[in-house]
Amino acid sequence: MDWQGQKLAEQLMQLMLVSFAVVAFTVGYVLGSFQSMLVIYAAGVVLTSLITIPNWPLFNRHPLNWLDPSETEKHPKPQPANSGAKKKVSKK
Return all residues near 16 (Cβ < 8 A) that are at least 6 apart: 44, 47, 48, 51, 52
Pairwise CA distance, residues 18 & 27, whole Å: 14
Q: What is this structure's pTM?
A: 0.66
Q: Which residue has the higher pLDDT, 72 or 47?
A: 47
Residue 8 included in any domain: yes
The pLDDT confidence band at residue 37, using thresholds 50, 70 and 90, is very high
64 found inside a domain = no
Number of domains in the chain: 1
Q: Give 46 or 83, the one with higher predicted confidence.
A: 46
Report if residue 45 sits inside a domain: yes
Structural domain boundaries enclosing 20: 3-56
Residue 45 has a pLDDT of 96
Mean pLDDT in residue range 31-60: 91
pLDDT of residue 40: 95
